[in-house]
Chains A and B, each alone.
Chain A
Amino acid sequence: MKEEAIHFGASKTLVGIATDPSAGGSTRPAVVLLNSGIIHHVGPNRLYVTLARRLAEAGFITLRFDLSGIGDSSIRRDNVPFERSSVLETQEAMAYLTASRGIDRFLLAGICTGAVVAYHTAHADARVLGTVLINGQGYIPESEEAIHAYLATRRRRRYYLRRALYNRESWRRLAMGRVGYGEILSALGFRREGRRRVKDLPNTKAGEVANGFRGLADRGTEMLFLYSAGDPGIEELDLILEGDVPSLTSRKGVQCRVVEKADHMFTALASQEEFLRQIEDWLQEVTERRALSHRPR
C-alpha cells in the first residue's frame, strides 16, 4: 500500500490522499470518499483511512479528499454554491485519477452529507458506476422548512425511543424538570400523526430526489444504501420515497443494508468493523459483476 499527498483542482488548492495498492496500478474502478459534514478527509473515527488501506489490499485505488473550505482544502474564491461546487470538485477528483492513474470508472462513497454529494455527482456524471450512500441526510435542501420540521420531530421521537428512555441521565433530567413530559409523549405518539402528515406536506424537492434515485437505477448505476439501525437518515429516505422504500431497493443493482448497534458515525469499534466489511464486500461484488458484464463474448 502506498499513500501520496496530492493537490488538485483548477487552482491546486484541493488536498487529498491517494492510496494505491502495493503493486501499483489497478484495472478496477477507483473509489472516491467524500467528506462527512465538515469532518476532514480522515473520516469519522478515522474510518476513511482504514477503509482506503483495506481497499488498497483488495486492489482498489482510493482518493479521499477535502471539499473546498473543509479540512486542509482552501475556500473557493467564487460564489458557486456548495451544491454545485461539491459536485464540480468531486469531478475534479475523478479527473485527477484519470490523468494520474488512467482510470475512468468510479465508485463514490460518503457518510451523511457525503452520501448526498455522491448522489448528486452520480446524477451528473455517467462515469460513476456505483455509490455507497451511508446514513445519508440532507438530500432535501435545508430551506424546505416544513419538511425539516417534520423530520426533526420524527427524529426527536426516535431519539427518545432509542436512547433517552433507557438512559439514567435522561430520567434524572426529567426528574429535575429539564426535559418535558409533553415533549416525550408527543415524540412517542408522533408516528401515527407523522404518517398522516406526509401526504399533507407541500410539494418539495423530495419528488425530484426520488426520481433522481430511480433515474440512476434506470441508468444501471449501482447503489448501496447503508444505514446504522435507527439512523434518522432512514426517515428521510422513507419520506423521499413516500413510505415505500422497497419500490427502490428492490430494483436491480440497488440494495439497502443495515448495521446493527451503530450510531450515526459508527463510533463503537464493533460497528466500525461491520461498516468496513459491508462496504468492502459490496465494492468487490460490484466490481466483479461489472468485470463479468464487460467480458468479451
Chain B
Amino acid sequence: MAGNVEAFFFGDPSTQLFGCHHPPSSGTSDYGAVLCYPVGQEYIRTHRLYRFLARRLSDAGFHVLRFDYFGTGDSASDFGEARLDHWVGNTVTALGELRRRFGVRHTFAAGLRLGATIALLAAIRRGEVDGLVLWDPVTSGPAYVNDIIADESQQLYTSIPKDYGNRASSWQPTEIVGFPMTDAMYQDLTTLDLLSVPRVAARRTLLVDSSEDAVQEKFRSQLEGTGAAVRFEHIPHPKTWTQDPYKTVLPSKIIDRVGRWAGDREG
C-alpha cells in the first residue's frame, strides 16, 4: 500500500538507531536517500514534513531512510549525552545501512536546518555521496544558537535570565525549548562554521533557501567557489520549524521541487 513504512532499529545494539524505510513507489531502484532531521524542538515540529518529503522521494524512485540520531527520537540514549559528531557519524552509518539493507548504489543525503548541516558534514566524511539536498542549512553555529535562544525566550516558563542581553552577562543556556543544552553541545554548536567548508561534498547539490531575503546567497557562493555543482532554489515559505505541528502549512512547493531535482537522474 502506498505510503507504508517499515520501521526498524539498526547499528550497534548498545547505541541503536531508529529508522523508517519508504520503498520506491514503483519497482526496484538502486537509488537511496537518507533524510537527516533537525534536532530538539525543530525535530518534533518538522517530523510530519519529513514524512511527506520521504513520500515524494519515494515517488521519485528512491529507497528513503528517515532516521533518528543518537539521543534523539526513538534512538538510544538521552539528548544530553549526544554530540554533534555523533550525529554526523550516525548519518554515515545510515548511508551504509541504505546500501547494505536495500542494495542501493547511488546515495543521497537530505536535510533541513541542522539536518542539512549534518548531511553535508557526513557527505564530506564519507565521500561517495551522489546528491545532497541542503534545505535552509545552518551555516553559522552562533547564529543558530541565537535563533534557538530567541525561541526559548518565547516560552511561558523561560530559562532565559532577566539580564540576558546585557553585554556583561555570561549566561549560557542549560535548556532550549524542552531539551537540555550541555556545555559540550553548546561548544559544538557555537564553533560550527560551514562557510569554511573546504571541498565539494557530492556530485551535485541542491541548495534550498526559503527565507524572504535569500540569506543563503553567501553560502551558495562559498559552495560554488569549491567547484561544486550547485542548483540554487529560492522559494520563500514561513519557517516550518518555528511552528507547532498542527499550525504548520506544509511547504509543498519546496517538497515537490526537491523531488523533481532528485528524480532527474542527469541533474
Query: Which residues of A line the B interface, CB within 8 A?
Result: 3-7, 11, 13, 15, 17, 37-42, 44-46, 49-50, 71-72, 74-75, 77, 162-163, 261-263, 265-269, 271-272
Assuming the A-B contacts A13-B1, A13-B4, A46-B179, are A268 and B51 also in contact, with contact meaning beta carbons closer than 8 angstroms in the complex?
Answer: no
Q: Which stretch from B83-91, B128-136, B154-162 is at the chain A interface?
A: B154-162
In the bound assembly, the distance between CA atoms of A17 and B7 in angstroms comes to: 9
Assuming the A-B contacts A46-B73, A261-B157, A268-B157, are A74 and B245 also in contact, with contact meaning beta carbons closer than 8 angstroms in the complex?
Answer: no
| Cβ–Cβ contact A163 & B156, under 8 A | yes
Query: What is the size category of the interface that chain B forms with chain A?
Result: 20 to 34
| Cβ–Cβ contact B5 & A74, under 8 A | yes
| Cβ–Cβ contact B3 & A75, under 8 A | yes
In the bound assembly, the distance between CA atoms of A163 and B47 in angstroms comes to: 28
In the bound assembly, the distance between CA atoms of A189 and B50 in angstroms comes to: 44
Q: How far is the CB of A57 from chain B (nearest CB, A)?
A: 14
| Cβ–Cβ contact B246 & A5, under 8 A | no
User: At the interface, yes or no: B27 with Cβ under 8 Å from chain A?
Assistant: no
Which single member of B4, B51, B74, B180 contacts A3 (CB below 8 Å)?
Answer: B74
| Cβ–Cβ contact A263 & B157, under 8 A | yes
Which single member of A15, A41, A50, A263 contacts B155 (CB below 8 Å)?
Answer: A263
Q: A residues within 8 A CB of B5?
A: 15, 72, 74
Interface string of B1-33 (1 = CB under 8 A from A): 101111111000000101010000000000000
| Cβ–Cβ contact A46 & B246, under 8 A | no
| Cβ–Cβ contact A7 & B178, under 8 A | no
Q: A residues within 8 A CB of B44?
A: 39-40, 42, 44-46
User: At the interface, yes or no: B175 with Cβ under 8 Å from chain A?
Assistant: yes
Q: A residues within 8 A CB of B18?
A: 5, 17
In the bound assembly, the distance between CA atoms of A185 and B261 in angstroms comes to: 53
Q: How far is the CB of A40 from chain B (nearest CB, A)?
A: 5
Which single member of A6, A74, A271 contacts B157 (CB below 8 Å)?
Answer: A271
Assuming the A-B contacts A37-B245, A39-B44, are A11 and B159 also in contact, with contact meaning beta carbons closer than 8 angstroms in the complex?
Answer: no
| Cβ–Cβ contact A17 & B156, under 8 A | no
| Cβ–Cβ contact A263 & B156, under 8 A | yes
Q: How far is the CB of A55 from chain B (nearest CB, A)?
A: 15
Beyond A6-B7, A77-B1, 6 extra complex contacts between A and B, CB < 8 Å: A11-B1, A39-B47, A40-B47, A263-B156, A266-B178, A272-B178
Q: B residues within 8 A CB of A6?
A: 7
User: At the interface, yes or no: B239 with Cβ under 8 Å from chain A?
Assistant: no
In the bound assembly, the distance between CA atoms of A45 and B178 in angstroms comes to: 5
| Cβ–Cβ contact B4 & A74, under 8 A | yes
In the bound assembly, the distance between CA atoms of A234 and B175 in angstroms comes to: 27
Q: How far is the CB of B16 from chain A (nearest CB, A)?
A: 8
| Cβ–Cβ contact B51 & A269, under 8 A | no
| Cβ–Cβ contact A38 & B48, under 8 A | yes
In the bound assembly, the distance between CA atoms of A53 and B256 in angstroms comes to: 38
